Amino acid sequence: MPVVHPVIVGIGQITCRPDEYPETMHPLELAKIAAACAAEDCRCPAVLGRADSVTVINVFSHAYGDPAGLLCEMLGIRPRVREYTAMGGNTPQWLVNRTADRIARGEIAIAILAGAEAMHSAPAGTRDNWLKDPGGLGVPEMVGDTRWGSTPHEMLHHARYPLEVYPLYENALRAARGMSVAENRSFLAEYCARFSKIASENPRAWFRKARSSDEIGTVTDRNRMVNFPYTKYMNPIMNVNQAAAVIMTGSDTARNLGIPQGKWVYLHGGADGTDRWFLSERDDFTSSPVVREVASACLSMAGRQIGEMDLFDLYSCFPSATLLQAREIGLDLERLPPLTITGGLPYFGGPGNSYTLHAVVEAVERLRKTPDRVAFISALGWYFTKFSAGIYSGREPDRSWDRKGQDALQKRLDSGRGPGLDMAPKGAAAVEAYTVMHNRRGEPDYAIVAARLESGERCWAMTEKDPDLFRAMEEEEFVGKKGRMTPGDGGPNLIAF
């Protein structure tokens, strides 16, 4: 009996720019188009009706009671499994890996994975006209880890959202690499310009203009500082209308349906993991055990080395996310290969939780043209919290899909112990990581600091609103700088320098 390999056989995506699509569409309309394109792509119109599983990735731009059920109604299909995911940028690759498991075990035969956002249309007052649930569809199964990414104590100190947390990593990485603030600014601008150029050559990118390093790195009225050291042009853009869908099945089913083998792209490896969930529990802001362990497991499953990868799309919400991944998987930050095939979230577009599904679609397109090449795709949730990776090729694997090592991988991640946390710190502390957040006028507004007490315990703090201090924090190296901690007494702890 031949080995059954999980394969992607159909892909579809749409980028709905206002100049090309004057009529606004709600997210599931975009998802319907992407799914229909995926069915057409695999040259098997009957495949949608044969699907026994439909999963919709968590949607930010509109609240549906049963997104998967509604999408199925719009497509005119009745799969026995309808799912909706938890939040997390890791979700698309996690879903691909999970779906491959289910296909390999014979639990499902054909699966549709879809994600869509219409954030650009949502603020324009069009939501009132968007599709409402007609009722009676029931509640879909929620899959994935639904935990929030920060503790109340972390949120008290404004470590609440990715745009506040990833700059902490960036500044810590800069210091660990021995770079000055000016050197790091130049490095980031050049790095981002390479992503922008890739997006400019991608017809599905939201931004088709290639921005220069000077344009990206120089603070102007149009390119204000947002979250030091990141300017606006270094931040992900969620204000997009984009959707993607993939159809997965087993190689036996694909053969029986008559789907041309030139359409098949195989999964050679896949792994998922979660780090210690909260930032306060992490060892530091310059490493990521979950990236290291998951990438290693993924490569081992595929029987490959990182140097054998021809294509990368490392999750790129912020530069530090991609750079730390690159460092952990063994790439040289001074001689990086292209780390995106789409252009990344700041330039291709960041459709909420579903960005990586677009990266998978792009990889499949390229691997069909050059089947011998191999692609490494990664996806991150929260703050290096949830991580998934997949290895793809147009060539059939020489081994069956088997992820028996997943439990052991997660046990290794769970066994680590981070520093203790002092929630009411007093006395001397050294800055471990920090950022200065700016308001919409580009003015410095507040600073977030993670520090270590002399005991080695971590603590969180903010500073007084001091423009001179904020200016110094953006011109000098503050990682390692000593300050005095004062407990917050119900408010944020304060650090003074």
Q: Contact, 110 vs 247, CB < 8 A?
A: yes
Enumerate residues 6+ apart whose C-beta is below 8 A from 253: 109, 110
Q: What is the pLDDT of residue 121?
A: 83
pLDDT at 259: 97
Give 216-228 pLDDT, tens digit per residue: 999 999 999 999 9
Least Cα distance to 316 among 289, 340, 290, 293 occurs for: 340
Tell me, what's the pLDDT at 3? Answer: 82
Across-strand partners of 242?
A: 15, 117
Strand segments (E) across 207-331: 225-227, 230-231, 241-250, 265-274, 311-313
Query: Would you state the pLDDT for residue 103?
Result: 97
pLDDT at 27: 94
Task: Say how far apart CA 246 and CA 241 lie, in whole Å.
Answer: 18
Diameter of the chain measured on Cα atoms: 72
Question: 382: closest CA among 3, 125, 94?
Answer: 94
pLDDT in tens, 237-284: 999 999 999 999 999 999 999 999 999 999 999 999 999 999 999 999
**pLDDT tens for the chain, residues 1 to 497:** 578 899 999 999 999 988 887 777 899 999 999 999 999 999 998 999 999 999 999 999 988 889 999 999 999 999 999 999 999 999 999 999 999 999 999 999 999 999 999 999 876 555 555 666 544 455 667 899 999 999 999 999 999 999 999 999 999 999 999 999 999 999 999 999 999 999 999 999 999 999 999 999 999 999 999 999 999 999 999 999 999 999 999 999 999 999 999 999 999 999 999 999 999 999 999 999 999 999 999 999 999 999 999 999 999 999 999 999 999 999 999 999 999 999 999 999 999 999 999 999 999 999 999 999 999 999 999 999 999 999 999 999 999 999 988 889 999 999 988 899 999 999 999 999 999 999 999 999 999 999 999 999 999 999 999 999 999 999 999 999 999 999 998 999 999 99
Q: Which domains does the chain have, with CATH numbers?
A: 6-148+238-415 (3.40.47.10), 427-496 (2.40.50.840)
Q: Is the dihedral of CA 97, 390, 271, 142 positive or negative?
A: negative
Single out the residue of 200, 409, 384, 198 nearest to residue 301, CA to CA: 409
pLDDT of residue 136: 46
